[in-house]
Amino acid sequence: MSKNRLEHLAIIMDGNGRWAKKRGLNRTKGHEAGAEVVRDITKFCALHDDIKTLTLYAFSTENWKRPQMEVNFLMKLIKRYLKKELPLYMENNIKFDTIGDLSSFSKDLIDEINRVKEATKNNSALTQILALNYGAQDEIVRAVNRVLKDNKEVTIENISNALDTPYSSIDLLIRTSGEVRVSNFLLWQIAYSEFYFTKTLWPDFTSKELEEIIQNYKNRERRFGGI
């Protein structure tokens, strides 16, 4: 039985709205509870020997279609989260980064994002990447255009290098809440990923469940197209 390394973990954090609805609460309460779980899971990953990169889907290019009030709330929550969690990043040696097109965000939020990126740039236990205004098709189109603009040949390597980040491909992709789809997340980087879908709603997700999922992943056989 092979013991796979888990360097890059990606998570589609889904189910905040349903979690809140089940409790008769406003959807925003679900997002607030979800932000707490982001903190716990990030800390767990920083302390984990193998995991070097954690990519979290925080806001997709399609999320702008939500009611304006919910979009505004998510923007404020992300900003508040970054402000509050800087000590967590520093204490746990976590570098913060983003993927996605930040240009549509407010100057306030962009400033906060850049502040935390700058403050944490030399940290090395874990890189936490938030996907913000991120869509994989959008990322791939922007990458191909970059390759063409540089008069380079369109090759797998050149496209890979022109993506939003030079980070490695994804080893394991988890989606919470029972939905079994990828929703335009990291389409290029999941070519050979393992997938795990759990029915747990994101605000109920714990590091204990993550540990069990990692054990399940470790015992899988990965062949990358070989035999």
Residues with catalytic function: 14, 63
User: Using CA atoms, how far apart are residues 135 and 114, in angstroms rounded to an integer?
Assistant: 20
User: Using CA atoms, how far apart are residues 89 and 66, in angstroms rounded to an integer?
Assistant: 30
Q: How far is the CB of 111 from ligand FPP (least distance, A)?
A: 17
Contact pick of 4, 5, 7, 18 for ligand FPP (by CB under 6 A) = 18
Q: Does 31 bind ligand FPP (CB under 6 A)?
A: yes
Site for ligand FPP in 56-95 (CB under 6 A): 58, 63, 77-78, 81
Q: Of 33-41, 46-54, 94-102, 112-120, which segment contacts ligand FPP by CB under 6 A? A: 33-41
Task: Give how far Cα 122 sits from Cα of 90, 96, 98, 108, 116, Å.
Answer: 10, 10, 15, 23, 11
Of 38 and 162, which has the nearer Cβ to ligand FPP?
A: 38
Strand order across the beta sheet in which 53-60 lies: 94-99, 126-134, 53-60, 8-12, 172-175, 194-197
Q: How far is the CB of 212 from ligand FPP (least distance, A)?
A: 20
Locate 60 and state its tokens.
Answer: 């997709």
Task: Give how far Cα 79 sits from Cα of 85, 90, 111, 132, Å.
Answer: 10, 17, 10, 12
Site for ligand FPP in 112-171 (CB under 6 A): 130
Site for ligand FPP, rule CB under 6 A: 13-18, 31, 34-35, 38, 58, 63, 77-78, 81, 130, 177, 202
